Chain A
Amino acid sequence: MAFDFNVILDNWALFARGTWLTIVIAVAAVAAGFLISMPIALMALSHRRTLRWIATAYVEWFRNIPFIVVLYLFFYGLPFFNLRLPEAIVGTIALAFFASSYFAEIIRGAILAVPKGQMEAARAIGMSYFQGLWEIVAPQTVRLLVPPSTNTSISMVKETSVLSAITVAELTYQGLVVQGETFAPFEVFLTTAAVYWVVTAIFAHFMHRAERAFGAAQGAHQARSSLADKYLLIGARRPA
Chain B
Amino acid sequence: MQMPAKASDAAVLMRSVSKWYGQFQVLKDIDFDVAKGERVVICGPSGSGKSTLIRCLNRLEQYQSGQVVVDGIALTDDARSVDEVRREVGMVFQHFNLFPHLTILENCTLAPMSVRGFSRKAANETAMRYLSRVRISDHAHKYPSQISGGQQQRAAIARSLCMNPKVMLFDEPTSALDPEMVTEVLDTMVGLAEEGMTMICVTHEMGFARRVADRVIFMDRGQIVESAEPSVFFDAPKHARTRLFLSQILH
Chain A positions near chain B (C-beta within 8 angstroms): 115, 117-118, 120-128, 131, 135-136, 139-140, 218, 221-222, 224-225, 227-228, 231-232
Contacts and interface: CB of A to CB of B under 8 A. Distances in A.
B163 A126 contact: yes
Contacts of A117: 93, 95, 97
Interface string B148-175: 0100000010011001000000000000
A124 B110 contact: no
Given A124-B91, A126-B111, A224-B146, 7 more contacts: A121-B93, A121-B99, A121-B156, A122-B99, A125-B86, A126-B83, A221-B145
Nearest to B99: A136
A227 B151 CA distance: 14
B127 to A, nearest CB: 12
A231 B86 contact: no
Contacts of B110: 125, 127, 135
A80 to B, nearest CB: 42
Interface in B171-189: none
B100 interface: yes
10 contacts: A121-B91, A121-B99, A124-B86, A125-B86, A127-B111, A127-B114, A221-B142, A227-B100, A227-B149, A228-B100
A139 B60 contact: no
B58 interface: yes
Interface in B118-148: 142-146
B244 interface: no
Interface string B44-66: 00000000000000101000000
A122 B98 CA distance: 9
B100 A123 contact: no
A221 B90 contact: no
Interface of B: 58, 60, 83, 86-87, 89-91, 93, 95, 97-101, 110-111, 114-116, 142-146, 149, 156, 159-160, 163
B8 to A, nearest CB: 23
A140 B86 CA distance: 23
Given A124-B86, A135-B110, A222 B145 contact: yes
Nearest to B111: A125
B100 A135 contact: no
A222 B95 contact: no
Contacts of A123: 58, 60, 86
Contacts of B160: 124-125
Contacts of B101: 139-140, 218
B159 A125 contact: yes
A120 B111 contact: no
Nearest to A121: B97
Contacts of B86: 123-126
A232 B145 CA distance: 11
Nearest to A222: B145
B110 to A, nearest CB: 6
A132 to B, nearest CB: 10
A115 B160 CA distance: 19
Which 8 A-B pairs rank lowest in CB-CB distance, beginning with the nearest? A225-B145, A121-B97, A117-B97, A228-B145, A125-B111, A124-B91, A126-B87, A126-B115
Contact of A222 (B114, B115, B116, B143): B143
A221 B146 contact: yes
A127 B146 contact: no
Given A124-B91, A221-B143, A231 B100 contact: yes
Nearest to B160: A125
A123 B111 CA distance: 10
B123 to A, nearest CB: 12
A159 to B, nearest CB: 33
A124 B161 CA distance: 12
Nearest to A223: B145
A224 to B, nearest CB: 8
B114 A131 contact: yes
A121 B60 CA distance: 10
Contacts of A225: 145-146
B130 to A, nearest CB: 13
A232 B100 contact: yes
A126 B87 CA distance: 5
